[in-house]
Structures are given as structure tokens and as C-alpha cells.
Structure 1
Amino acid sequence: MKARWDIFCSVVDNYGDIGVTWRLARQLVAEHGCGVRLWVDDLRAFERLCPEVDVRLDRQVQEGVDVRRWPADWPATEAADVVIAAFACQLPPGYMEAMAARARTPLWMNLDYLSAEDWVVGCHGLPSVKFKGVQKYFFFPGFRAGTGGLLREAGLLGRRLAFQRNAAWQQQFLQTLGVFPAAGARLMSLFAYENAGLASWLDVLAADGCTTHLLIPEGRILGDVQRWLGIESLSVGDVQQRGALTVQVLPFVPQTQYDHLLWCCDFNAVRGEDSFVRAQWAGRPFLWHIYRQDEDIHLDKLDAFLELYTEGLSAPARTALVSLWQAWNADGNMAHSWKKLLEHWPELTVHAEKWCLEQGSRPDLATALVQFYVNWI
């Protein structure tokens, strides 16, 4: 009999938390035959990623996953064999009592945030707190051996490569979004938090000798784009041109379509955690807008990833990439660092694909979680 899994997701950053848990739940069902209940406290945010979700329902099945509303008044519920608290969310007290009441206690894991910091390897898989005899374990996604790996569906990289080799497929997909880039234009995507450094980047793109078509999924960065354009409103479907730069606002799309969008683009600016990982699977140069934390501790995570990611780059290419990422995450001036990055574009493009294949050779996160459970029992 396959194990039953409960995954708890408290939506904090709109789409990152639910994005990760929704991908994980689907993969556990589709590839490992697990029975999965996904408890979500914000179905409205979930609906953006999965439009089929009915936000009025307390229980529904989507792609084989038993999706449950996480209510304020917790009902009596039998605990599953494996319990995942995503991103250190606090489980309902009633559910914790149900875990302790089981004849065989469940495996309880805290699926933590993704980090490239050295200490993650030493903490991955270690026991944490106990609740009435139920032991919780740390489970860390990561980029190194000795961590839980990254979310990656079976065959993903093969599908991506086939898509990127087929210009007709890419054109057909873009046309479904109303995107018709000029011949030879650099195609870029921008999904980010608010950023005061955006104007300097758009300025240099508009003045560039190469045309750029910038695709912006509906989100928090639109206000900054609107101010730079000097217009009163900016909404889905709008297309604006300034010099060599064309800006186009896209609707928020489901996860599979977002993957295809990343695969189409020559460069992707992403944010948070879920889109950060998906940009790496695209095998193209990218820019990460990390979620800000108190006392700037997020910058340690940024630097740790950059140290790992830039291994193998020439010193000038590494300097250009690091400068761009640091400027973007400090709301700094992007003009000089973007121009320097363009000087090393071929090397950075080859490196992005190499990094993707290297990470793709490691066990994926869902498989690592299942293996952890098998080892535990």
C-alpha cells in the first residue's frame, strides 16, 4: 500500500509557497503513486496557478491531488503516514494531536527554504523538535550532494530541449499569448518584486543597438514599469515601445505555460523560489530577485548561490554576472553591469546550460523525499 501524504502550505509570498507545494504534490501523485492531501490556507492565490480550482470548495481533486482548504477551525482529521510542513509553517494543534494518537507515528518533515549555504548539507535530514513522541526532521532542498535536490519532473529537461530546438513550437506558444517579437529581437521575461533599479535597466535596453522584447507577467513590478513609461495605467495585453525596447504585459499563466515562457526567452529575470528554480531548468542566463529578509540576511543566501553558480566562469564573466545580481538586489544602477554582462553573453549562455545539466544529474526533490521515507520506515 502506498503511503498517504499530507502537505501543509501557508501562503506568505503569494505564489512561491503554493507554487512549490503544488508542483511537489502533483509529482508525488503522478510519479510515485502517493495519495496526497494538499492543505492550503489561500485558495485565491492557488487559483492563479491552477485556474481550475474552485475557491468556494473545502475539498476538491485537481490532477489527482486531494486539495483541501486549511480552515481556521480545524476539523477532526486522521493524520497521514508522511506529514510535510512547508517552509516551517505551524501545523494545526488538532492535527498534531492526531499525529501523536496514531498507533504508528508518522514521518514529520519541515520542508525548508532553498539555499546554497554550506551549513545546509550538515543540517539536512537531522532531527528537530518532538511533539509527544512524534519526531520532526529537517529536509533541505539544495544544489549540492547531501541535500534534498531541486523539484524536477521526470523528463523535464528532455521536453525543454525539444521545445527549444523547435522554432515553430515556440512561435505557436508565443502567439497564444499575443506575442509577436520582431525578427532578431532579444526576448526577455521579467517577474520581480518592486525595484528602484528597474528604470536604469530599462533606460539601457531602450538605448541599446539590439532590439529587446520584454515580457512582463502581471505582478508587483508593473508599477515601476508604468512609472518609467510615464503612463497612467498599464494592464494585461498592453504593448509599449521606447527606442529599441518593446514592453508587453502578459497575463499570469499556469505553471506549465510559465515554463514554456522561460524556455522561449534568451534571458529571464525571476523572483522568490519557484520561478528561480524553473529559470535554471530553462538553461538560459537569468537574474534572481531574492525575497528580502530582516537585517539583509537574504544577501548571504544570494552570495552563497553566486559563489556556487559562477564556478567555471572566466574571471571577467563572473565579475559581470555578480555585479548585475548585486545591483539588482540592492535597487542599484543596472546600466554599467548590464553592458558588461552583454560582453560575455556567449560564455554565460553556455554556462547556464552546463549548470542546468549538472543539477539535472542529481536526484530530484520528490524522489529524495520518498527515499527518505523508505529509509525511515
Structure 2
Amino acid sequence: MKTTWDIFCTVVDNYGDIGVTWRLARQLAGEHDLAVRLWVDDLQAFVRLCPEADSQAERQRRQGVEVRHWPATWPGAEPAQVVVGAFACQLPQAYVEAMGKQATPPLWLNLDYLSAEDWVDGCHGLPSPQANGLRKFFFFPGFTDKTGGLLREAALLPRCQAFRQAPDERAKFLAGLGVHPAAGARLISLFAYENPQLGNWLDVLAKGAHPSHLLVPQGRILGDLGHWLGEADLPVGALHRRGALTVQVLPFVSQDDYDRLLWSCDFNAVRGEDSFVRAQWAGVPMLWHIYIQEENAHWEKLEAFLTLYRHGLSAAAGQALTDLWRAWNMDRPMGQAWQALQPHWDELREHARQWQATQAARPDLATRLVQFYRNSL
């Protein structure tokens, strides 16, 4: 009999939570031969990532995973052997009570947010005592051997390498999105939250000596993009040219196609957690728009990652990268920071490849979750 896993996901206001849990559920089922149920409270958000899914189905099977709607009134279900509550979501009380009645209580894991902060190493894997006696533990994704690692399917990097070694595949994929970049143009993807510094960055790209083609999937940044272009509406396929810059709006694509988009680009601006990790696996220079928290608490997470990521860069390249990320996240002049980054482009490309290889040498998140369960038996 396959070990049963329940993963609970509450969609808050973006796609990072469902993006992470959907990738994890597919990998646990496909690579580890587990019986996985993914409980989602917002199927509309799920359909954006899995277009073949049915937003009205209470139960459906997609890519080896049983996807269940998690309604306000709990429908009842026997608890799995392993229960994963993603990002501190609150499990249904009736489900928790049922967990306590099992002959062998399930292993309960609180899958937390990704962070490079020092304290994560010490908190990963610690127990969280429950009054009802259930076994609950903190599980932190991360970038060191003392954490739970990063999501990475076994075939991800080989697929990326094969894609890049077949230029026709890249051209075919881009053409399928209606993208036909000019010869020699630098391809940049942009997936971000609202940002007042966007126009400042685009001004510099438009005046640059090197042609750039900016690909913008549908999302929250379109309002700022429209303001810079002087366009109230930016439908999918919209194409605008200003100086050396071409701007093109793309549809909100599936997860697999988003990976291909990242692989196709020379630079990726990403947001949140899911696309942030996928950009690291793409192995090219990137820019992270971190999720904003009250009292700028997110800046500590940003600085912690920069401290880790810039290790191995020259002092000048590391400072230029840091200045760019701070400008994007702290409302500072973006154009000036972008120009200062250009002399270090080749070094940043090589560093991105080395970072990818370093992280890929560690066990992935799904593998570490499974091993944690086996060690608990």
C-alpha cells in the first residue's frame, strides 16, 4: 500500500502558495510513488496553474494527484499518514480531531516559508508540542544542508539543459507565445508586484545601446507598465516599442511553460517564493521582488539571501547586484542601479550557473520530506 499524504493549501492573495504545494504534490506522487491529496480552498487559482483542471469539481485527479476542494464546511475525510500544512494554514478542527483518534497518529508537518535567515537552520525539524499529543514538526525549506532544501524535480535540470541545447525548441516555444525577438536582443522576463520604480528602469532600457525585449506575463505589474506606456488597457499580445526596448504582454502560463520562459530569457525578474526558486534553477542573472510585509520585515529576508547568494562574487559585482535588488525592493533609483550592473554581466551569468550547481548538489525538498517521515517511523 502506498503511504498517504495530505497537503493543505490556503490561497491568500497570490499564486506562490498554490504554486509551491502543487509542484510538491506532483513530485511526491510521481517520483516517490505516494498517494497524495492536495486540499485547496480556491480552485480558481489552481486552474490558473493547471489549465486542464475543473474549478467546480469537489474531487478530481490531475497529474497523479487527487485534488480536493477545501470548503468552508469540512466535508470529512480520513486523515493521511503524513499531513502537511503549508505556510502555517489552519487545518480544519474536525480533521485535527480525527488525526488524534488514529491508531497510529499521523506525522504532522508545518511547511514554512522559504528564508535564508540564520535562525532557520536551528529551527528546521524542531517539534511543536501539541496538547492532544499529535506529532507536529516545523519544516523549513532553505539553501543550506541544515534545512529542508528547495523544490526540484529530478528531471528539471536535465530538461533545462536539453531545452537550451536545442535552439529550435526555444524559438518554437517563444513563437507559440507570439514572441519573435530581434536578433541579438536581450530577453528579459518580468513577473512582479506593483512597483513605482518600474518606469525608471524602463526609461534606461529604452535609451540603452543594447536592444531589450521585455516579456510580461499577466499579473499585478501591468498597472505600472500601462502607466509608463500611457495605455489604460494592456491585453495579452500587446506589443509596444520605445527606443531600444520592446515590451510584450504574455498570458498567465502553466507552471511548465513558465519554466520554459525562464530558460528562454537572459535575465529574469521574479516575485514571491515559487518563481524565485524557479529562477534560481534557470541559472541566469535574476532580480527578486520579495513579498512585502508590515514594518518592512521582508527586508531582513532580502538581506539574508543577498549575503548568502553574493558569496563568490567579486566585491564590485556583489555590490552592484545588492544595489539593484535594494533599489527594486526599497523604492530607490532603479535605472542607475541597472546601469551599474552592466559591466559585471558575464560574471553574474557564471555566478548564476555556479549557484544553480551548488544548490542542485543538495537533496531536494520532496526527498527530504520523505526521508524525514521515514526517520520518524
Same fold (TM over 0.5): yes
Residues 110, 137 of structure 1: 8 Å contact kept: yes
Tell me which amino acid in the other structure corresponds to 1:210. Answer: H
Please give the alpha-carbon distance, in whole angstroms, between the structure 2 residues aligned to 1:129 and 1:241.
58
Which residue number in structure 2 is paired with residue 354 of structure 1?
354
Please give the alpha-carbon distance, in whole angstroms, between the structure 1 residues aligned to 2:162 and 2:64.
27
Please give the alpha-carbon distance, in whole angstroms, between the structure 1 residues aligned to 2:291 and 2:5.
28
Cα shift at 1:190: 0.1
**Aligned length, in residue pairs:** 377
**Secondary structure, in 3 states, of the residue corresponding to 1:130?**
coil
Please give the alpha-carbon distance, in whole angstroms, between the structure 2 residues aligned to 1:253 and 1:59.
23
Please give the alpha-carbon distance, in whole angstroms, between the structure 1 residues aligned to 2:130 and 2:314.
48
Residues 96, 131 of structure 1: 8 Å contact kept: no
Cα shift at 1:76: 2.3
Could you list the runs of 5+ residues in structure 1 that have no partner in the other structure?
none
Q: How does 1:274-289 map to 2 (within 5 A)?
A: 274-289=274-289
Cα shift at 1:195: 0.1
Which residue number in structure 1 is paired with residue 212 of structure 2?
212
Residues 140, 148 of structure 1: 8 Å contact kept: yes
Could you list the runs of 5+ residues in structure 2 that have no partner in the other structure?
none
Cα shift at 1:275: 0.1
Which residue number in structure 2 is paired with residue 266 of structure 1?
266
Which residue number in structure 2 is paired with residue 374 of structure 1?
374
Cα shift at 1:131: 4.2
Which residue number in structure 1 is paired with residue 111 of structure 2?
111
Which residue number in structure 1 is paired with residue 124 of structure 2?
124
Q: Which ranges of 4 or more aligned residues in structure 1 deviate by more than 3 Å?
A: none
Please give the alpha-carbon distance, in whole angstroms, between the structure 1 residues aligned to 2:172 and 2:113.
36
Which residue number in structure 1 is paired with residue 150 of structure 2?
150
Tell me which amino acid in the other structure corresponds to 2:370. Answer: V
Tell me which amino acid in the other structure corresponds to 1:112. Answer: D
Residues 24, 366 of structure 1: 8 Å contact kept: yes
Q: How does 1:312-323 map to 2 (within 5 A)?
A: 312-323=312-323
Which residue number in structure 1 is paired with residue 34 of structure 2?
34
Please give the alpha-carbon distance, in whole angstroms, between the structure 1 residues aligned to 2:159 and 2:13.
29
**Secondary structure, in 3 states, of the residue corresponding to 1:128?**
coil
Q: Could you give the per-residue CA deviations for residues 43-81 of structure 1, whole angstroms, max 9, x where no partner exists?
A: 001110001111111000001100000011112211100
Residue 93 of structure 2 corresponds to residue 93 of structure 1: yes
Cα shift at 1:164: 1.4
Provide the TM-score with structure 1 as the length reference: 0.99
Tell me which amino acid in the other structure corresponds to 2:235. Answer: S
Tell me which amino acid in the other structure corresponds to 1:267. Answer: F
Which residue number in structure 2 is paired with residue 43 of structure 1?
43
**Secondary structure, in 3 states, of the residue corresponding to 2:278?**
helix
**Percent of pairs with identical residues:** 64
Which residue number in structure 2 is paired with residue 134 of structure 1?
134
Which residue number in structure 2 is paired with residue 102 of structure 1?
102
Cα shift at 1:231: 1.8
Cα shift at 1:310: 0.2
Please give the alpha-carbon distance, in whole angstroms, between the structure 2 residues aligned to 1:155 and 1:135.
33
Please give the alpha-carbon distance, in whole angstroms, between the structure 2 residues aligned to 1:200 and 1:246.
15
Q: Could you give the per-residue CA deviations for residues 90-115 of structure 1, whole angstroms, max 9, x where no partner exists?
A: 00000000100100000000000000
Please give the alpha-carbon distance, in whole angstroms, between the structure 2 residues aligned to 1:96 and 1:206.
56
Please give the alpha-carbon distance, in whole angstroms, between the structure 2 residues aligned to 1:14 and 1:321.
26
Please give the alpha-carbon distance, in whole angstroms, between the structure 1 residues aligned to 2:76 and 2:312.
54
Cα shift at 1:133: 1.0
Tell me which amino acid in the other structure corresponds to 1:306. Answer: L
Which residue number in structure 2 is paired with residue 246 of structure 1?
246
Please give the alpha-carbon distance, in whole angstroms, between the structure 1 residues aligned to 2:12 and 2:331.
23
